[in-house]
Amino acid sequence: MSENERQMTNQPPQLFDAIDSLLAAVDEGTVLPVPAERVRLREAAGLTPAAVAQALGVRVPSITAWEAGRAEPRGERLEAYRRLLEGLAHRYPAPATPPGREAVGPHAASCPPESTKPQASSARTPPTVPQAFSSLPAVPEIEPAESEQAPAARSVPQSPDPAGRPAGRPGASSRRPVKRRAAAPVGTDPQFPHGPLAVLDGDGCAYGIDGIVLDCPATTIVELVEWTLRESGLGAAKLNRHGKDSDPLIVLTAAAAVKLGLPERLEGHEQRRSLRLPGDHPAVKQIGKAKWQLTQRGFGPWARIYRKAQGRERQCVQVAILSWDALDERSWPGVAEMEPADIARVLAAYATRVITPRGSTAVSGLELMTALRPPTRAVQDPASGTWVSGHNPGSLGREPVDPAPPEATPEHPVVVDSGWTGGFLNEEAYQWVRAVDLLSDDECMLPFAVGLDLNTAFLAAAARLTVGLSAPDHFHAPTFNPKIPGSWLVDLSHIELDPRLPSPFTPDGTRPTGPAWYQTHTIAYAQELGFNVAPLEAYLRRETGAYLDPWHDRLKTAYADTLADLGVTKDLSDPQFLAAMERHKQTDPAMAAVLAAIKATVKGGVGKLRERPQGKSYKQGERWPALQRPTWRPDIRAAVISKARVNMHRKLNNMAKMTGLYPLAVLSDCVVYPSPGESPLDFLPYAASGKPQPGGFRLGPTPGLAKLEGVQSMLWAVDLMEQGFNPARHIKGGDAVLDEGE
């Protein structure tokens, strides 16, 4: 086509260059068969992907990508691969065209049915959904015209190609969005047809939910942000009708980061997660020049790039860089090393069941609280009749409130400015070991030490937990009321309990020595045990509510559903449950990673409620950034931990009454018992009917029930106890001296 013709059609020259190249490839006979035909030919010949990869001198993932349509060979390998397919096609001809269907083109006989084939050569075939996600509910297939359409609020006009479809990146028309074969519920939102997030590789392929692959033409961070908001169709709907939609997340592989002008790694003397790009870095300067902004955290492993919202339309994109350690190995085991498509599936499962990741799992856990209980809602002004932003009942509100002095940390301005010396809440998880001289001869003769671990004990404690929603008020000599959340100064030193059990009132399990501050649940348990309590003073909250209920319910469902994907369901008998738990991580590593992230979200979210100051430059008495958010609530954290510790002691006490067994050690939600056998079934209490006795530890997959943590010899446990180590910390195995204190 001449230059005059191109100018007359007012189309970009590179678009016609791409079309001309495509037509030339067709004329030369170098167009490869469709992906499905490539697979058919290889399988018909009995060849494995490894055999083909070895012959062509490439890796097996390359063959997999070629057969899935996610990538195409180039240069000499293109010619060699085409020759292989032509030779196989000669030996294994395609089946005859079914009656009533007209064959068009050299490979038409092997095309997929009309209901599943791409509508143009530009469509990519979605990778096969692995077993990890095969249990996600499917929805009816969406036609390409619907699934490829970006939301109207984000779409921008594009020059149509000769077939009338929007044009993609010049020279990369094979990377257009594809329709989903089996979609999770998150992908059915018409506003966000391509799900909550995508993982971008160095070739411009953005891998999303359900195996979709979008073509991303961006070569800079600014272009990436604009493509994400205008063309990608990424995002997630709000979790509460008064909340906000989740901003789209783009996860960058190392190759994608380099392609976009970012360093592959962040180097420095600090922890890499705390590092940021300097303000004079070209990428940061480009962001500012394009009138985009970064949050105060700057451009680090998790960056938020935004402009002020225009009306109801948010303009914000999250960017996570894998090679900058955005995904902590402890929370996302093995995920950073997966292929981009698999990373997308793991993160999409988490986003579907929990929330689109907003940073670490701890940050996501805290953000989930706010997303489910937004601080404001639209209310009508009686005077003007207009709708304005007002307080959302049951939430923590929009403005932060200071804690009572005993609920704060020693460096908090409330403590420093007031000169407070009255002590602090010490509601922490158990770290207790029974004294060796309290072991009986019968216990020492038992052969095994068996560890039980409570499933997400903090999550179980958050269920139906009443917490304070308003600022604290100070009271002198109040009458104790177990229904009022707060902090109470009480002397519990007169309470004497069995020394073979930890005290329920202190984290180290020792008996209190005088007046101390306790959360409501701890004092209520003292009453439950039959002791009188006489508070000296208290800080209580008048406005209360079950703030964490929706947070608990969503995470509980996510935990149970993910365990079910791993073969651990509620209908299993106790022996079947133990067997399923023993192999669940090997059943599907991808979903096992999702499960680990959910557990880390619970623990980290509770911890974030009392985030301490960070950085060497901090000075005691200064306010730190975490104090500016309404969810900095150490009293709520104390309530969760207090209830979890009380729940643990109640089970320990009931076990002693029912079985005569006493624990060797407790560490947070793990307890170690002496046992005549290697299984919890050898010492847990069961009724004559075979059902577990209520009140003690019970096996099962739901939060608050127990699973096997590990088994060691009784001699091993006693040896650790004599050295001052906690067997519960090391019941899975490993060197006690090296592991202590982690």
Is residue 209 located within the same domain as residue 65?
Answer: no
pLDDT band at 312 (very low <50, low <70, confident <90, very high): low
Share of the chain above pLDDT 90, in %: 68
- Residue 46: which domain range? 14-97+106-111
Nearest to 451 by CA among 692, 737, 730: 730
Nearest to 651 by CA among 718, 708, 699: 699
Domain boundary among 317, 344, 359: 359
In a domain, 420, yes or no: no
Give the pLDDT of residue 371: 97
Domain boundary among 326, 359, 392: 359
How far apart are the C-alpha atoms of 434 and 431, rounded to whole Å?
Answer: 10
- What pLDDT, in 10s, does the model give residues 544-603? 999 999 999 999 999 999 999 999 999 999 999 999 999 999 989 999 999 999 999 999
Is residue 128 located within the same domain as residue 62?
Answer: no
Which helix (H) or strand (E) element contains residue 675? strand 670-675
Give the pLDDT of residue 140: 33
pLDDT band at 95 (very low <50, low <70, confident <90, very high): confident
Is residue 18 located within the same domain as residue 133?
Answer: no
Domain boundary among 359, 380, 405: 359
Q: Where are the beta strands (DSSP E) in 381-497?
A: 387-391, 431-433, 448-454, 467-468, 473-476, 486-491
11 pLDDT above the threshold of 80 = no
Is residue 147 located within the same domain as residue 28?
Answer: no
In a domain, 302, yes or no: yes
165 pLDDT above the threshold of 60 = no
Cα atoms found within 13 Å of the Cα of residue 617, Cβ hemisphere only: 1
Q: Dihedral of CA 176/202/363/742: which sign?
A: positive
Is residue 266 located within the same domain as residue 197?
Answer: yes
Give the pLDDT of residue 76: 77
In a domain, 602, yes or no: no
Is residue 186 located within the same domain as residue 297?
Answer: yes
In a domain, 253, yes or no: yes
Is residue 139 located within the same domain as residue 268?
Answer: yes
In a domain, 403, yes or no: no
In a domain, 335, yes or no: yes
Is residue 89 located within the same domain as residue 130?
Answer: no
pTM of the model: 0.76
The pLDDT mean for the chain works out to: 84
Which helix (H) or strand (E) element contains residue 439? none
In a domain, 684, yes or no: no
pLDDT band at 717 (very low <50, low <70, confident <90, very high): very high
Is residue 328 located within the same domain as residue 187?
Answer: yes
- What pLDDT, in 10s, does the model give residues 208-221? 998 899 999 999 99
In a domain, 630, yes or no: no
Is residue 90 located within the same domain as residue 197?
Answer: no
Is residue 75 located within the same domain as residue 129?
Answer: no
Stretch among 170-174, 343-347, 356-360, 392-396 having the lowest mean pLDDT: 170-174
- Name residue, tokens 């009917």: 689
The count of structural domains within the chain is: 2
pLDDT band at 17 (very low <50, low <70, confident <90, very high): low
The 8-class DSSP code of residue 324 comes to G
Is residue 81 located within the same domain as residue 136?
Answer: no
Long-range contacts of 110-113 (CB under 8 A, 24+ apart): 110/33, 110/34, 110/36, 110/37, 110/40, 111/34, 111/36, 111/37, 112/34, 112/36
